[in-house]
Amino acid sequence: MIGGMKGAANPHVPVESAVHRVSAVARALTSTTGGVPELQREVVCTAASIAGEGAAAAIALREGERLSVRVVDPHLAMPDMFEGWETAPDVIAGKRLRRVLPGRGSLLVLPMSNLGELVGALAVASPSDAASVDPEVEGVLATLASNAAIAMENARLYELEKESVRRLRELDTMKTDFLATVQHELRTPLTAILGLSDLIEMCWAVWEDSPKLDALRDIQVAARNLDGIVETIIDFSIGDGEPLALALAHVPLEDAARAAIAVVGERHKGGLPVPVEVEVAPGVMLRADPDRLGQLLRALFDNAVKFSDGHGRVVVRAAPSGAGTVLVEVIDEGIGIPAEDVPCIFERFYQVDNSATRRFGGTGMGLALVKRVVEAHGATIDVETRVGSGTRVSLRWPEPPGAGVDVLDDDPVPSSLPVQ
């Protein structure tokens, strides 16, 4: 253990032995898999050990144009020796700094550079108040500081690469699950359409008009669901990663909300399974692309209705909220979302329940598209939810120029709203 070397070395150790020790330490540091924080702690302990009995060390890292102390030797017995050293002009300029406090000790600060760039500084405090550190020991510490800068950069790149690999694997798994989900979601309405069409053809001569109309309505519902799935996939895949092209206009929000509710209702046989109430302040307008806004509202309403699970109601509220924004809320009283899943619900392909036995359909792309449309309009979206109590999705949309500025009173509606 490197930290166990503390006190084992002193300024009178032959330089060959000290250099050999630091070379071994440098090799250990550049191959560590403990991450940057552990590496920094090892550097501090090793520097104190090399400096001799009673010494302590600290590391400051560069943040913009200044240095900030990150790691301090836990054995530090001279805290005043370290006060303000990281702000000294010479340290910030990448130069060595020597400071002596007669009767209390001395301080040596060494620059830590990588590829010619200052990344930080290594400070070593010694109980000796000699005017200078043994040149051999100072050289060894300088070597350690340089190697530590390289090692920290290597460790940082290693962690980034490891995180990138983890994320790529996660996305690959999500895509695989998505393809399996889409296959099921597409087949379900297609099976209904093809099966009912064949049934109508077989029974046309013997069926009365009423069962024929029922079968046709079932085909229409399945076709609309299929259309919604295909629309989402196409809209999300076109220009993925690029800004959405918007044809902005002043859109009456109440009309847009009722139109979206009507479309969602057509996707359910017999109409919406829970009532959807529109409580939009008179005259509320949004500066938006009408088609994209409709798509966004349909996705939110569809989620709210679906995850209400047949209970309660869905409420759409909107009114000016001050600061040049309109607050739009979609509130349901459904199943809610587990807290650990909330940060992921706007990611592509993500679904809270992605098992083969899941109760609720969907491709996992609706909310990702919602997020994209919201951001394209310069708006924001937030989710409040509680498992078993429902979910609330809140949009803060920029008001059109010249719109009213009435402020919406705080509403005590409980946090809610499940979107997947």
Model pLDDT for residues 340-350, shown as the tens digit of each residue: 888 888 876 66
Q: What is the mean pLDDT of residues 408-413?
A: 38
Predicted confidence band of residue 26 (pLDDT cuts 50, 70, 90): low
Q: Judge whether residue 108 has pLDDT over 70.
A: yes
Q: Is 225 part of any domain?
A: yes
**406 domain-assigned:** no
**Comparing 230-239, 273-282, 405-414, which segment has the lowest mean pLDDT?**
405-414
Question: 261 and 224 in one domain?
Answer: no
Neighbour-count burial for 9-28, b at 16+ CB within 10 Å, e otherwise = bbbebeeeebeebbeebbee
- CATH code, domain carrying 200: 1.10.287.130
CATH number at residue 361: 3.30.565.10
Domain membership flag for residue 419: no
Report yes or no on 38 lying in a domain: yes
Q: What phi and psi, each to the nearest 5 degrees, are found at residue 180?
A: -65, -40
* pLDDT of res. 402: 59
Residue 86: predicted pLDDT:
87
Q: Do residues 308 and 270 lie in contact, with contact meaning Cβ atoms separated by under 8 Å?
A: no
Based on the domain organization, do 51 and 144 belong to the same domain? yes
Mean pLDDT (whole number) for 146-150: 85
Q: Report the CATH number that the domain containing residue 17 is assigned in CATH.
A: 3.30.450.40
The per-residue pLDDT for 263 is: 87
One domain, residues 102 and 12: yes
In a domain, 190, yes or no: yes
390 and 259 in a single domain? The answer is yes
Name the one residue in this structure whose structure tokens are 């900030």. Answer: 68
C-alpha atoms less than 13 angstroms from C-alpha of 283 in its C-beta half-sphere: 6
Same domain, 220 and 194: yes
Q: Are strands 390-398 and 117-126 parallel, antiparallel or unpaired?
A: unpaired
Instruction: Give the count of beta carbons closer than 10 Å to the beta carbon of residue 314.
Output: 27
259 and 375 share one domain: yes
Question: How many domains does the chain contain in total?
Answer: 3
Q: Does the pTM of the predicted model rise above 0.95?
A: no
- 120 and 155 part of one domain: yes
Q: What pLDDT does residue 4 have? A: 39
Helices assigned H by DSSP within 31-134:
35-51, 89-92
Rounded to whole angstroms, how far apart are CA atoms 89 and 70? 19
Domain contains 243: no
Q: What pLDDT digit, counting tens, does each position of 60-76 carry?
A: 888 888 888 888 776 66
Domain that holds residue 220: 166-237
Q: Where is the domain boundary, 106, 131, 162? A: 162
